[in-house]
Amino acid sequence: MAKSGLGAPIESERFRLVPLSRWGAFKLTYRWTKDSAFMSSYCGSGEPRSPWKWYREMIRPNNRTKFVHAIVPHGQTEPIGVHTVAIKPYKSCLLAVGIHDRNWWGKGVVQEVRTRAIEHVFEHSDVERLYAQVVARNFPSIFNYRKLGFAHVGTLHRCRIDKANGQVQDMLIFEMFREQWMARDANA
């Protein structure tokens, strides 16, 4: 079960992770849905979305089991991306991140933000298992899960289509357990 602290702000070395309301998350991310390349890597499909379609599709924070944090560099006000956390049965947590500002691509944002977000999740919940589903050809995302110590535990074959280009996609499932994360911390 989630604890109330899960929706608190998170600080990392270079970023503030600011919790967003449902409306705040929608307002911030809807404009990014016009960016087909970004949406392809963030959601697996670069198709155009109506406001209603995006509202139905996006993670809608409820401050109980679903949280969206804006990623804001220290000294700036404009978010460069979002990090989402969804608590699921059984003691599981689905993670996702999208960095919209291309100036920050390849600069270790995901590693830094996700490391702090994972620490935050374990500190403020009884989650035992983290997992993520990644489009098989999203190599940067796969790299980021690998580097953090996630294991590839399965593949969903031909499970979705990118309506923007008609490509049928596989999804890779990555997971990591609390004790593996703690062991990683202890070995660091």
By the criterion CB under 8 A, which residues form the site for other proteins?
105-106, 108, 110, 136-137, 139-144, 146-147, 152, 155, 157, 170, 172
What length is written for the chain? 188
Closer Cβ to other proteins, 3 or 107, answer by number: 107
All residues at 6 or more sequence positions from 80 whose CB lies less than 8 Å from its CB, including other chains: 71, 72, 73, 99, 100, 101, 103, 104, 109
The secondary structure element, H or E, covering residue 71 is strand 66-73
Least distance to other proteins, CB of residue 24, Å: 28
Least distance to other proteins, CB of residue 115, Å: 13
Q: Which two tokens stand for residue 33?
A: 């849905």
Give the three-state DSSP class for 115: helix
Least distance to other proteins, CB of residue 155, Å: 5
Closer Cβ to other proteins, 124 or 184, answer by number: 184
Helices (H), the chain: 22-30, 36-43, 51-57, 109-124, 139-148, 178-187
Closer Cβ to other proteins, 8 or 153, answer by number: 153
Q: Which two tokens stand for residue 71?
A: 């990623």
CA angle, 25 then 119 then 8, to 5°: 40
Closer Cβ to other proteins, 55 or 105, answer by number: 105
Least distance to other proteins, CB of residue 111, Å: 9
Helix, strand, coil: what percent of the chain each, to 5?
40, 35, 30
Least distance to other proteins, CB of residue 83, Å: 16
Least distance to other proteins, CB of residue 106, Å: 4
